[in-house]
């Protein structure tokens, strides 16, 4: 929604305000601004009703009706906890201000879950050879799961967490992705493309980016289908004080036989049909921007190589178990499963 539908000039009349509130329906709140869009106050149906009870008329200045101290947040400066506190107060829509106190956007709790300060990179350059012939004329991230491409499910989910800047790494049939999403304007997100001439690996492709602004980066494979809670993932990253956090997939291996514990050829104990728990790499990472210094422009650097390097450098590498849905669409069977699962998922 165009946030300017929620703005009304301070010299507007109450009748116009009522008409605008009626058009906004479920999202009925206006933010009164001066000629420079600086926030003056907020206005709801309830504010007008209370004003009329006091004896105000339709000719009374709109400034007499408003709430003069509405809640607001600053762009790029609001802590995640502050936004959550507004949600707990049952506030529905919050104006987002720039440093000059001008309204530059709104946060609608009905449409968004958070406002995460993350630059995001989606890896979409793979050929998807195991999905041939489906990917012979279509890049893997553009294969449709349900009504839209796999990568679009991820972009739409990311935007609900307030992420408004994304980089997409492309190579194989990458023009199809560029033509479909363009600059991202239709999704109210700024999309830029990293074009690989040759495979650079998960982290190597990031060496081609020169406009990372945020202190933390979210990197993920675009061919995943997941309902991971990005806000909880980010909060876990902050709490852990890690340099890199990997979203992991709990994986169990059940051995149908007794497993012998052997020392120098002697059986010293055994476990009857044990179950072993492991955690696999889920292809989603959050890490500090400072780690980009380890990358050399245009050089191959895969995720496993990057993690090995960080561990050797005594950096803190942590993991975040995904408790929700996760599926790596790597083969035709996974693709068929995704078509069924999407019918029941809350993405």
Outline where 110-212 has alpha helix (H): 150-160, 174-181, 201-204
Site of tokens 């998807």: 128
Matching fold, domains 3-73+101-106 and 118-243+283-341 = no
**Overall average pLDDT of the 262-275 stretch:** 88
State the pTM of this model: 0.87
Instruction: Give the per-residue pLDDT at 270.
Output: 86
94 bridge partner residues: 107
* Pairing label, strands 275-288, 244-254: antiparallel
Confidence of residue 34 (pLDDT cuts 50, 70, 90): very high
Measured between its terminal Cα atoms, the distance across the chain in Å is 20
Confidence of residue 300 (pLDDT cuts 50, 70, 90): very high
Taking residue 216's Cβ as centre, other Cβ atoms within 10 Å add up to 18
Distances (CA, A) of 109 to 106, 231, 246, 260: 10, 14, 28, 55
Please state, in angstroms and rounded to a whole number, the distance separating the CA atoms of residues 95 and 259: 61
Please state, in angstroms and rounded to a whole number, the distance separating the CA atoms of residues 271 and 261: 8
Instruction: Give the per-residue pLDDT at 188.
Output: 85
Please state which of the ranges 15-19, 94-98, 182-186, 262-266 shows the lowest mean pLDDT. Answer: 262-266
Please state, in angstroms and rounded to a whole number, the distance separating the CA atoms of residues 236 and 318: 10
Confidence check: pLDDT of 1 > 70: no
Distances (CA, A) of 336 to 283, 287, 328, 347: 21, 33, 12, 18
* Pairing label, strands 266-271, 275-288: unpaired
Please state, in angstroms and rounded to a whole number, the distance separating the CA atoms of residues 248 and 205: 22
- Per residue in 159-172, pLDDT (tens digit) is 999 998 999 999 99
Q: Is the link from the previous residue into 133 a cis peptide, with omega within 30 of 0?
A: yes
Instruction: Give the per-residue pLDDT at 220.
Output: 97
The domain 3-73+101-106 having CATH identifier 3.10.580.10: the answer here is yes
Confidence check: pLDDT of 339 > 80: yes
Instruction: Give the per-residue pLDDT at 145.
Output: 95
**Overall average pLDDT of the 282-305 stretch:** 94
The CATH number assigned to the domain with range 118-243+283-341 reads 3.90.550.10
Domain ranges (residues) in the chain: 3-73+101-106, 118-243+283-341
Q: Of 209, 189, 234, whose CA–CA distance to 123 is shortest?
A: 209
Site of tokens 């707990």: 88
Contact indicator for 180, 130 with CB cutoff of 8 Å:
no
Structure tokens at 326: 């996760």
Instruction: Give the per-residue pLDDT at 75.
Output: 83
How many Å is the maximal CA-CA distance in the chain?
96
Structure tokens at 215: 């202190």
Instruction: Give the per-residue pLDDT at 8.
Output: 96
- Per residue in 140-152, pLDDT (tens digit) is 999 999 999 999 9
Instruction: Give the per-residue pLDDT at 159.
Output: 94
- Phi, psi at residue 318, to the nearest 5°? -120, 175
| Residue of 303 and 252 predicted with greater confidence | 303
Taking residue 172's Cβ as centre, other Cβ atoms within 10 Å add up to 19
Please state, in angstroms and rounded to a whole number, the distance separating the CA atoms of residues 264 and 347: 53
- Per residue in 219-268, pLDDT (tens digit) is 999 999 999 999 999 999 999 999 999 999 998 889 899 889 898 888 88
Instruction: Give the per-residue pLDDT at 191.
Output: 96
Buried b (16+ CB within 10 A) or exposed e, 261-286: eeeeeeeeeeeeeeeeeeeebbbbbb
- Per residue in 179-229, pLDDT (tens digit) is 999 999 989 899 999 999 888 999 999 999 988 889 999 999 999 999 999
Please state, in angstroms and rounded to a whole number, the distance separating the CA atoms of residues 347 and 345: 6
Please state, in angstroms and rounded to a whole number, the distance separating the CA atoms of residues 222 and 154: 7
- Per residue in 36-61, pLDDT (tens digit) is 999 999 999 999 999 999 999 999 99
Instruction: Give the per-residue pLDDT at 221.
Output: 95
Contact indicator for 171, 125 with CB cutoff of 8 Å:
yes
Q: Chain-wide mean pLDDT for the chain?
A: 92
Please state, in angstroms and rounded to a whole number, the distance separating the CA atoms of residues 72 and 205: 37
Confidence check: pLDDT of 78 > 70: no
Residue 176, C-beta contacts closer than 8 angstroms, at least 6 positions apart: 138, 139, 142
């Amino acid at each position: 929604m165009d946030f300017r539908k929620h703005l009304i000039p301070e010299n507007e009349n109450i009748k116009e305000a009522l008409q605008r509130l009626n058009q906004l329906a479920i999202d009925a709140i206006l933010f009164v601004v001066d000629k420079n869009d600086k926030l003056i106050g907020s206005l709801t149906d309830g504010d007008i009703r209370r004003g009329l009870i006091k004896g105000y008329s339709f000719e009374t200045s709109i400034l007499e009706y408003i709430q003069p101290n509405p809640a607001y947040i600053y762009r790029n400066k609001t802590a995640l906890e502050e936004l959550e506190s507004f949600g707990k107060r049952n506030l529905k829509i919050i104006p987002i201000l720039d440093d000059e106190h001008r309204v530059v956007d709104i946060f609608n709790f009905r449409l968004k879950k958070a406002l995460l300060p993350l630059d995001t990179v989606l890896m979409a350059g793979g050929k998807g050879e195991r999905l041939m012939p489906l990917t012979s004329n279509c890049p893997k991230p553009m294969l449709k799961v349900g009504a839209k491409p796999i990568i679009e499910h991820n972009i739409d989910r990311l935007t609900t967490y307030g992420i408004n800047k994304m980089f997409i790494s492309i190579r194989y049939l990458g023009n199809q992705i560029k033509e479909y999403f363009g600059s991202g304007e239709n999704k109210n997100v700024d999309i830029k493309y990293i074009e690989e001439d040759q495979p650079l690996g998960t982290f190597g492709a990031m060496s081609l980016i020169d406009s990372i602004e945020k202190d933390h980066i979210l990197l993920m494979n675009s061919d995943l289908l997941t309902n991971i809670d990005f806000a909880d993932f980010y909060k876990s990253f902050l709490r852990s004080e890690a340099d890199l956090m990997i979203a992991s997939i709990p994986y169990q291996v059940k051995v149908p036989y007794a497993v012998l514990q052997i020392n120098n050829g002697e059986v010293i104990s055994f476990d009857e049909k044990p179950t072993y728990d492991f955690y696999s790499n889920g292809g989603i990472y959050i890490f500090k921007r400072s780690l980009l210094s380890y990358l050399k422009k245009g050089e191959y650097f895969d995720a496993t190589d990057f993690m090995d390097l960080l561990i050797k450098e005594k950096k803190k590498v942590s993991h975040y178990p995904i408790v929700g849905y996760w599926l790596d669409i790597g083969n035709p069977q996974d693709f068929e499963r995704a078509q069924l699962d999407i019918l029941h998922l809350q993405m």
